Amino acid sequence: MASKASLEDAVSELMDSPGGELLSSARIHLRKRAFALFGLFLAGLIAGFPIAKSIIKWIIDEQRLPDDVNVIVTSPVEFIMLQIQLSASFGLFLAFALLITEASLKGVKHPVVRARVAELDLKPPRPSMTMILSVLSSIGLGVLGIIYAWELLTPMLLEYLSTDAQEAGLSTQWKLGAYVGFVLNLAIASAIGFQAPVVTMLALRVGMVDPKTITMYRKHIWFSSFVLGAMFSPPDPLSLFLVALPIILLFEISLIIDRVLPKR
């Protein structure tokens, strides 16, 4: 009984703390906006259904497939279920984007946050040229990563994998869901990996890390790039290398840029 009472006291103390107040406010806000979030998800699901169909047709274009390769469906509902899966992902993205935006806008106005800012004598964050350039650079690099995956990475890997299977005497028939997932995973992995310069530059410019420290742990960062590449890329060594290599190159370029540009 004593341990139960102490646990209840600890939970009560946690909920009365500033962090607990923020958590309670977030829970209340989530309950109030649950219907709007679900409505936005449903709208994204409906609007994304025809878009998903066009994306699938674009990905399985015969001109992009290697020779003697066929994309097949193994069940009558596979194509429909894939459309639903992609459109549901679009709906979840819209709902999550709304939730993050509202949390950011209302979070800075929360009494707990205002009190903490006043206690630390900080200035409220305002959009700056650095922030705008960071956002634009992140979007641009993400698009560049998708183009890299679509124009270079995917055709090269598909040709290599199909040729390797055919040389082993296997017929190359790929399932629709697996093939589309393969292409989309490569695009997402490349878009995330191409954010390396933005993350590195921000960490250096705001003083989160020292350039000497990054140089000292360069090998660890390279290894982490391969680990991330293994997490997001398909499970073959060539995909891992082709996803991790641009991350390492962009990371090294960002270090050079940091040395060249003057620091304020």
- CA-to-CA distance for 54 and 227, rounded, in angstroms? 33
Domain coordinates of the chain in residue numbers?
33-126, 128-264
The pLDDT value recorded for residue 2 is 47
Enter the DSSP assignment of 62. Answer: G
Among 250, 136, 135, smallest CA distance to 190 is for 250
Q: Report mean pLDDT in 10-residue bins for the chain, 264 residues.
A: 51 54 71 86 91 90 83 88 92 87 69 62 60 81 90 85 82 87 86 84 72 75 75 66 81 80 61
Give pTM, 2 decimals: 0.72
The dihedral formed by the CA atoms of 158, 163, 165 and 167, expressed in degrees to the nearest 10: 180
What are residue 72's DSSP bridge partners? Answer: 175
Contacts of 20 (CB under 8 A, 6+ apart): 14
CA angle 161, 167, 170 (to 5 degrees): 80
Q: 141-178 b/e with 16+ CB inside 10 Å = b?
A: bbeebbebbbeebbeebbeebbeebeeeeeebebebbe
